[in-house]
Chain A
């Protein structure tokens, strides 16, 4: 069961970050920034697979607000405190920076999806939590023009 709410102390030296917990259950977590509308993390863990999925935003990209990396850490800590044993990190990319990176790196079949996925921002977070390996689950589209890419980061 969940313990007392984690104390959310923004990283030192960060401007414009005032975190506020908006939803906190053993399966869904939403942390938003009271000072910036487009800055939040929404995360969930599937009870059946124990895979963590998250969406993090910090828009506009003006250098202000709660850093994405810190927001992911908050979500991770939350689920761990709830007693959830996370088995992997899912990446279900249908838009955004991670999909853009995969498309840029696979253009002209320079790299495989797996190689490209390992160079995304999400892969950096996955390594941080001990999930350095990646497996492609499913994708839609062709190299450089994928509409969706589903990957799983595992230990």
Chain B
């Protein structure tokens, strides 16, 4: 009989207690997997979102994060030209974000407007129709929610209104634009009605003067590995701007969501403690019940090492069975929990908190296996030090 057979037979003797232990381990394993996904998933998901179009660097007004305030930077065109002349830079573009309104019948609906440079855009993916041309001052791109809100499709005309003045109850700017395409804006929250025009058009709708202002600049460096070094160089080149690499932004984001990371560590640790307690308790009681059997095995020449190995295998087997079920349970609960957290107001729809990845599964599996092994050490030690003669005598009486 192999060690595994002996272990499984041992576990099968008390089905109810084994089933309960497996259920407990499965729930703990599910929680552990969820927490491993949560601890690493936030930053990975955020980094992936930032790199969705390959732009590794952002420049924003001093003291602000991208789109965190309505602050803008001046002279955007000149900065973009300077950036584009940099041999390390493959592409650079300016973006202006602002609130504006669309006409629907005789009422106005609130929209979010992006001013973009179509030749260097990192904000959207075309879903239907055509992209804007570089100098297309009569075209507009809509998100699906914006298209629904304005009841517009590709080829239709929409009327956008900017700079409402509450004191005179009039709109300063109104433009009629043709819908060129329907796009998915990478950083939009779920259901956000957004529209995009070339930068110049959006600038004219956002501000009274012909200032060349932008909310942020995005830079694509030719070589990914060079991005941090280019960010440092740009920081000294533009001291009045904030220059962020993806790593910088991930670091800021991690600080904002530090609570979830710490919660994941605490709950993950608690899951491991529960697993250790369950496996150790079950095996200790099982070993105490089987001391006679173990003493007999020792008496007929089975080595102490073999006994220890079999007890450890039993612990690991219990953990593997519970862990297998826990993985399925964990993937299900992760989806449910992700559904809750991604309903945060203003969170980009592309963002996930729980990201199932092979490395998350591997990490959780390995941690669980080591835990199962460690949990078996104490009962294994008990089994190994059982006095043969005294145990057999006690069993016989």
**B and A form one assembly:** no
A-contacting residues of B (Cβ < 8 Å)? Answer: none
